[in-house]
Each structure stands twice: as C-alpha cells, then as structure tokens.
Chains A and B, each alone.
Chain A
Amino acid sequence: MAKKLMKGCEAIGEAAIQAGCRHFFGYPITPQSEVPEYLSRRLPAVGGVFVQAESEVAASNMILGAAATGTRVLTTSSSPGISLMSEGISYIAGCELPVVLVNIVRGGPGLGGILPAQSDYNQATRGGGHGDYHLLVLAPASVQEAADLIGLGFDLADKYRNPVMVIGDGMIGQMMEPVEFRKSPVLDLPPKDWALTGARGRKARIITSLFLNGEELEALNLRLKAKYERMAREDVRFSTYNVEAGYDVLIVAYGTTARICQTAIDLLREKGVSVGMIRPITLYPYPYEAVAKAAEAARAVLTVEMSMGQMIDDVKLSVLGKRPIHFHGHAGGVIPTPDEVVERIHSIRAGFQS
C-alpha cells in the first residue's frame, strides 16, 4: 500500500480496521474526536459496528461486553474520558479481556485543556482504576508508529488477555504524517477458548471479575502477576538515538517529547556535543534494564516530559541512585522546545567541569 498523508487520529482508526477490529464504542472528546468521526464512516462500510455511547462509562462497559465474545474491539478517548472509563477498564482487567484503548492525552487535572500533555503517565502505567492490575501501555512517537502500535496492540491484547492502552498526546492525534499500513507480523496467538459464543453443545463459560472467596480472588491476582512478569520478559520495547557515538548525558523521553529531544540532540551534535537518548515504547512493562544500562555510559541523566515529572519515577527505579537525574518539563499544553533542552544539557555539562 502506498504512503498516505494522514492525521494521527485517522491513522489510528484505519489501523484498527486493518487489524481486524470491527467494533467501536466511545464518546467524542477533543483532541481525538477524529477517531470516532473516521470510524463512524469506515466501520459500517466494512460490516462493523460503530456506537456513540451515551457516556464514557457506558462505552467502557460496551467494550467489555464485545470483548467477552472474542471479537476485537476499540475505544478511544482523552484524559477526562479515560477517567470516566476507569471503572469499566478495571472490570476488563479483572475479567482478563483483550481490548485496545487509546488515550490521546490532554492537559489536566480536571477538565484541563485540549493541548498536548503527558500528564496521564501514572494513571496509564499504574492501572488507573481500582484493584491490583496493569495495562500494557504503548507510546508512539509518530503517526506511522501510532498505526503500527495499534496493530501490535491488538495482538498483544489477545496474547495476554489483557487490556492494552496506546497513549499519545494531542500532537500525535492532530499531526499529519505519511503513513503506510503494513501487515503486522502475526503473533502466534492462543485460541479464544474462553469467549462467550453460545454454549449449545458445550459447557457454559463464565467471564466475571466477582470472586467472593478470598483464595479464588487471590488466584486471579497471582495469575495477573504472572502475566505482567511475562510481559516484562517478552514484550519490553524501546528505541535509542545517537547512543553509538558515546555520550556524557543520557536523555530519557517518550512520545512527542522524544521527537523534540531528537532535534535537540541534532542541534548539540552540530556544536560537537554528543548526547544519547533512550525512548521507552512500552511504558508498561517499562524498559528498566535498558535505561539502567544506557545510564551507565553517561555521567548524568535528563528526563524530559510534558508533565511535572511522572516517568522520572521509573527512571529513578532504573538508575537506582547510580547517576544524578535531572528533570525538564512543561505542563498544561506548553511544549518543551529543542532550544530549552539544549540549554539544559549545557547547564548539566557545565556542572561536570566545575
């Protein structure tokens, strides 16, 4: 398929269709309303179902119901909408159902604004709703990667019977870039022998997150824990930039912010300063070991985020006090500039010489 110039939101919608998703339930909210807009046209054309629910709470329960039948299902929203869905998402995790959620993050807290932010990192990576659960969280840095990770997300959701969240920000959602819908390498997925498909001729199956017996509920939690440990073994993803050249400062950034830092690194390179970057693609499971290893080669680490500092906690858990960790961030839709990052690097390096 030829490259096409597409908005991130539209590419997300098309990628879901290419991944075999035929069900969408959601509620519009800026800056991701182009996803439901796109799918409201496209899904009926491919024999799928599009429902604009009466609320996000309703949508989160509709995706639970659809996923229970074994079909691929998507919902997309933005920060306050994801908060409203949190009840359903916790139930989905408890029921061990595969769904793909997209959060095109906007500034918060509260109703916040509509501009790009990364302030939902903690909510996304620590579960978000009640109970002991995690989402598998994927963070694209381009429109192409957003499309690729939607395809991969559906496979990983099925592999683990776990909700997967693709997290972007207003910039990923609203930006247009060339995109190509590649056939994603199909994972060897387990059969959906748990799906509710009608019990005629076989034993009835039950999908529930209600376990009144303590041992049974603990067994579920142990099963979830084993699943998260397997994710950490098999599905940690990250990319690096300019690490081959050697560096004395390591930047850790994800999503849009990593793009900004990439430009900062290019600017620094022109001035003869070599800075490396590691960009987590899976925010959960987090690439702790890779960040630790990359940090070892540096004298200091700089975490850049569009928040007041959330991922920095995971950077600290990676580095374990072995290197000083600096932070640069903006919030509320204010976006860090490459020049600011360059300046920050200079001031960190000035500290080395004194």
Chain B
Amino acid sequence: MQVEVVMAGFGGQGLMLIGKLLAEAGMEAGLEVSWLPSYGPEMRGGTANCTVVISDRPVGSPIVKNPRDVVAMNLPSLDKFEPVMKAGGFLVINSALINREASRSDVHVCRVPANEIALQCGNARAANMVALGAYIGCAGILPIQRIEHAIQETFEKKPELAKLNLQAFARGLELAQGQGKGAQ
C-alpha cells in the first residue's frame, strides 16, 4: 500500500500544516511517511504545495510526479495537478475558490466549499482543516482518530484553536462522507 497526495494552494492557506498533520498521523499509525514542501521562490504569495507519501514500506522517492491524490485549494493548483493524478485517485476541490468542475472522469471527486464552511465554524482560516476532513472522508486512508489526535497535539497550547480546527475537520469529513465515494 502506498498513497501519495499533493496538497496545493496559495501560500498562507495552511497546506503545509495539513500535510504535516497527515504525515504525523501516518507515522503514529506505524506507517512510513515523508513530507516534502515546495520551498522555491513560490513560497510567498504564489502557489505552495507539499507532497506526503504514506507507505507500508520505506518511502523511495519523496518527489512524486504522478500523485494518486490531490487536494486543490485554488484554481492554479487544480490546473497544475489534476492532469498528473493517477487514475482512480481522490481529488478534493475547494469549490469556494474554484468555479470549475473537475475535467477528469477517471478520479473520485469531492467538492467542498472549504472557506465558507470554515467561516461557519468561526474562522475562514480553518479552510485547510475542512479540506483535510474532506480528504480523509473520501480517501479514508487513515483512522479519523489519528488525525484528530495530531490536531490536538499541534494545538495543545491553544485549546480554542484546537476546538475550531477539530470542528472544521469534522465538517469536512461529514460533507465528504455525504458525497459517498464521488463520481466515477
């Protein structure tokens, strides 16, 4: 079993963080993981992405040209990574900022208005957690409790933020599960 996921969006949308939470949860689940950021000049203002690999054997290349899954938080990210996804993968689209449908018909698509849901939870900045929830909800690669635990540990010293983020994560999860496994 090996899953590669690219999490991509604008710098500042918190993609690095949800990638790290995913990697931590994978590690706690006893799997091999790697987390690789894009650290080029695009970090500030432009697109930012990280690649997380979760595997049951040592991770070979941490750079992945054709990831199985993609979480796209903005249009440039969807345009860039949708075409290179593996068939049968899971694609999470932040429909609050992306006003087009997926163009691939051979991947599972889950659309969530992450920014709007986050705002309903009390802070638009938690949109990343909604997306993470949606991703876990549709791809189901790790036990939900592992992610919740990683969120709790990360925001250990800020219980208010932990609560907000857990709520946003739960809403994303719920929405994705409501969409079943998405369109084929």
A: residues with CB less than 8 A from B are 3, 5, 30-31, 114-115, 170-171, 174-178, 259-260, 262-263, 266, 333, 335, 337-339
Contacts and interface: CB of A to CB of B under 8 A. Distances in A.
Contacts of B108: none
A259 B60 contact: yes
A175 B40 contact: no
B63 A335 contact: yes
A176 B37 CA distance: 9
Contacts of A262: 60-61
Interface of B (DSSP majority class): mixed
Contact of A5 (B35, B36, B40, B61): B35
Interface of B: 20, 23-24, 27, 32-37, 39-41, 59-63, 65
Contacts, number: 59
B61 A177 contact: no
Contacts of B59: 177, 259
Contacts of B62: 171, 175, 177, 259
Contacts of A31: 39
Contacts of B61: 259-260, 262-263, 337-338
Instruction: Indicate the member of B39, B59, B65 with the most A CB atoms within 10 Å.
Output: B39
Contacts of B39: 30-31, 114, 170, 174
Contacts of A263: 60-61
B50 to A, nearest CB: 9
Contacts of A170: 39
Contacts of B63: 171, 260, 335, 337
Q: Which residue, B35, B37, B62, has most C-beta atoms of chain A within 10 A?
A: B62
A329 to B, nearest CB: 15
**Which of B20, B23, B35: most chain A Cβ within 10 A?**
B35
A260 B27 contact: no
Contacts of A175: 34-37, 62
Contact of B65 (A30, A266, A337): A337
Nearest to A143: B34
Most buried by A among B33, B37, B59, B63: B63
Contacts of B37: 174-175
Contacts of B60: 259-260, 262-263, 266, 338
Of listed A3, A115, A178, residue having the most chain B CB within 10 A: A178
A176 B65 contact: no
B32 to A, nearest CB: 8
Nearest to B63: A335
Among B20, B61, B63: residue with most chain A CB under 10 A: B61
26 contacts: A5-B23, A5-B24, A30-B39, A114-B39, A114-B41, A171-B36, A171-B62, A171-B63, A174-B39, A175-B35, A175-B36, A176-B23, A176-B35, A176-B36, A177-B35, A177-B62, A178-B27, A259-B59, A259-B62, A260-B61, A260-B63, A263-B60, A337-B63, A338-B60, A338-B61, A338-B65
A178 B65 contact: no
A276 B65 CA distance: 23
